[in-house]
Amino acid sequence: MTCSFSLKTHLKRWLGDETGAVIADFAVMLPVFVMFLLSSAEMGLMAFRQTMLERGLDMAVRDLRLGLVTDPTHAKVKSRICTYAGYLPDCGASLRLEMQPVDLRAYTSLPPKADCIDKSEEMSPVRAFVTGGTNELMVLRACVKIAPVFPTFGLGEQVAKDGNGDMSLFSVTAFVNEP
């Protein structure tokens, strides 16, 4: 009888002891906070790179509209976008452009979604890049591939990635070729 009373007393004392409660809560919640912290950093960097891609595209199109780019080619426009975008890692190799005219009178929607470069596959040819004529509405789409900072944790693990482990950022703009 004294043995069960002693066990009951020890069990009651152990359940009432709260000296390790903070450490246990910390150990349980630490991975959650680390995931939020790393996902926030990943999302911030993705938003920054998306903004830089859009800025580069807008500035390059501004140069096209003002006539600062003579005989616009895929390489020239791509070079301008990468220069204006600033911080897009390996921009020259990972940026893919598509430019084509859109008929204003028969417009229903944008052409099918532009694709990106997949570094894990064999290189595919340049997409449609038509400079268009005067007073023609042109749609320019850009896609850049970037590697997640934390590819195996949090947001970096959840985003859609290609065979090389890169994710895609898209940007679209439209302009009218001035005479």
pLDDT tens by residue, the chain, 179 residues: 445 568 888 777 767 766 666 677 777 888 889 888 988 988 999 999 999 999 999 999 998 888 788 788 888 889 999 999 988 888 888 888 888 888 877 777 776 666 676 555 554 555 677 777 777 888 888 988 888 888 877 777 778 777 778 888 889 888 887 76
Within a domain: residue 9? no
Q: Which residues contact 24 (CB under 8 A, 6 or more apart)?
A: none
What is the span of the domain harbouring residue 171?
Answer: 19-176
Within a domain: residue 86? yes
Domain count of the fold of the chain: 1
Within a domain: residue 14? no
Within a domain: residue 6? no
Within a domain: residue 7? no
Is residue 125 within 8 A of residue 161, CB to CB? The reply is: no
User: According to the model, what pLDDT value does residue 122 have?
Assistant: 55
Is residue 98 within 8 A of residue 174, CB to CB? The reply is: no
Within a domain: residue 91? yes
Partners of 129 in the β-ladder: 99
User: According to the model, what pLDDT value does residue 156 have?
Assistant: 76
User: According to the model, what pLDDT value does residue 66 have?
Assistant: 82
Within a domain: residue 136? yes
Within a domain: residue 13? no
Closest CA relative to residue 106, chosen from 137, 140, 133: 137
